[in-house]
Amino acid sequence: MTEQLFVEHSLSRTGGTGFRVRVLDDALITGNPPVAAIYGEPEDDCLVRIHSRCVYSEILGSVDCDCHDQVQQAKQLISAAGTGVIIYLDQEGRGAGLLAKARGYVYSQLHQADTFASYRALHLPDDSRDYAAAADLLESLGLARVRLLTNNPEKMKALESRGIIVEREPSLVPVSESARAYLEAKRQHGHLIPSLTDS
């Protein structure tokens, strides 16, 4: 990793102990920079969640996906463990942005298509997210081995390509009926999610 600058400070939290926030300060980053919520004193083999922004679930309360519940689960597990890191990336709509995500929703609702089919119909990549900054933040904390809360093998590959040893911890949460098709589509596109059609 090239030398990076960070801005770090503490935050208080309702109903729990506080944590530190580390924001990546890199002039090459466009938009909001990546941020790490650091609980306790992370060391190798601690729990880590890399999470991309989802305005619909996190702010508007949508239950069409599992994003909100996944990050809440990560906070609970890391708090219970006493240490760990949540990295939050401003990569809405699998990296395509909020407007593309909204257009994908419109297409999906008009054509009863999953989000992957909708993105392709709109000439958008399935997933254009990048996790290099997440690796930067983990390296800045001196972490060489992590237990990654994820169902996405691309996150694992991104960290492993930087020499970080990854042990996957599944990130499975109960989902609404409206989210089942979304998760099934993700499973069919390589995410490590059990089939939801059998339950």
Task: Give the three-class secondary structure for 76.
Answer: helix
DSSP codes of every residue in 108-143: HHHHT--HHHHHHHTT--S-----HHHHHHHHHTT-
Angle between helices 153-160 and 132-140 (to 10 degrees): 60
Residues 6+ apart with CB under 8 A from 132: 158, 162
Residues tagged active-site: 127, 129
Residues 6+ apart with CB under 8 A from 145: 44, 45, 164, 165, 166, 167
The residue assigned the tokens 């596109």 is 189
For residue 168, the 8-state DSSP code is E
Q: Look at the block and give the residue holding tokens 């909204």.
A: 102
Q: How far apart are CA 191 and CA 92, in angstroms?
A: 18
Distance (Å, whole) CA 34 – CA 43: 20
